Chains A and B, each alone.
Chain A
């Protein structure tokens, strides 16, 4: 048995790179020991320059981990960013980075949660939602779970294989939609939230994740629909 803590950096080797969208990649890392993390938790990824300068950022795990020696992170290439452009553009299979975690014990979902759940994700904020959504699917939980996902364009949609044509997922495109687009268009507003909230048997527990402006707009829309703050968990990416 290997004992370590979530504070200890480990070497992770890139073993696969999957292109999710023009600006987003999912990287699979192999870790030196098994990874255990709850759905919704995040890890910290650190880069070191040749002169010793280091920079680290937080990234949500794509799924809950139950002892696999791999970890997947989905990372958006942020314009003029310090860490994410290097990770998404320069890393190749076989390259190493340092990672530690998991962190965050609040924005998590476990199958013992009996309440129905509404997930709202914007842009890369859908990453921890994917972890929660798939943990729910893999569990015996019969509580309703629905994902409301705001994406700029069709091309920007992440995890298309799982989220397109899924009755438990509503996707809205905020910039432009293809002519044959069956989903919703425009930003998520109070009415769109209402339509989804009314389909729940009781007030759902809500997880909201994305950039601060998005999170604030969503928590306002939820509260306008009678969802009290104690039922809303948020994660702000920036």
Chain B
């Protein structure tokens, strides 16, 4: 049974119809990171695509920026309960990156994203195909700042935003799932905002 808090009205206006349950719209863009913000020089930047692909490859910043960009206009949802609606993001689609790596082998069931900080997150392969995911470099036509994951971050907007790993360095396609940093630290393994898959359901014994 739910507790009713008399006198509490909140901000449940019209915009929450477009919001997944339990989310609040923000206009500004909050920053959430587990440690200091790393400053990555584009000179030192590389993106590795490896694991279950036919021709693993490493791209430097210059090569990466020669690739065709894809634009997505979409909402983003952070597990800490803010959502930003109608954002415009640009980057290279994972479909294009996978194509460049010669396509996936049948063993590719999951993708493990690793950041320059060594933080990882895991996603099912079907969630990053068909224009659902980018390695993004721009939001609202501005290059991503370091605090928002620049120079490039993974962008998978239909899942809670921790899945969109900042400071992306490597995408490894694997056969077996490997829960990443937040996923072993109490967050949900999949993270669908519409199903409120916020936290892992680990049992507590009282």
A and B: interacting chains: yes
Stretch at the interface among B33-41, B44-52, B63-71: B33-41
Residue in B8, B9, B24, B35 whose CB lies within 8 Å of A234:
B35
Instruction: Kindly state whether residue A238 has any CB partner on chain B within 8 Å.
Output: yes
| Complex contacts, A110 vs chain B, CB 8 Å | none
User: Do A47 and B10 touch (CB < 8 A)?
Assistant: yes
Whether the pair B186, A105 counts as a contact (CB closer than 8 A) is yes
Q: How far apart sit A30 and B172, CA to CA, in the bound complex (Å)?
A: 47
With A5-B204, A236-B31 as given contacts, are A216 and B37 in contact (CB-CB < 8 Å)? yes
Least CB distance from A62 to B in Å reads 19
Select one of A57, A98, A105 contacting B3, CB under 8 A: A98
CB atoms of B185 and A6 under 8 A apart = no
Kindly state whether residue A79 has any CB partner on chain B within 8 Å. no
A5-B204, A104-B186, A229-B117 are contacts. A238–B30 as well, Cβ < 8 Å? yes
**Contact of A50 with B35 in the complex, beta carbons under 8 Å:** no
B35 touches A232 (CB 8 A): yes
Majority secondary structure, B binding face: loop
- Are the CB atoms of B10 and A55 closer together than 8 Å? yes
Interface size for B (C-beta < 8 A) is 38
**Nearest CB of B to A168, in Å:** 24
> Is B185's CB under 8 angstroms from A105's CB?
yes
- Which residues on the A side are within 8 Å of B32 (C-beta)? 236
Which chain A residues border B2 with CB–CB below 8 Å? 48, 98
B1 to chain A minimum Cβ distance, whole angstroms, is 8
Residues of B within 8 A of A2 (CB): 206
> Separation in Å of the A130 CB from the closest CB of chain B?
21
Partner of B12, one of A51, A105, A222: A51
Docked pose: A82 CA to B21 CA in angstroms: 16
Provided the pairs A3-B205, A236-B31 are in contact, do residues A50 and B24 lie with their beta carbons within 8 angstroms? no
Q: Nearest 3 A-B pairs (CB), nearest first?
A: A53-B12, A219-B36, A105-B185
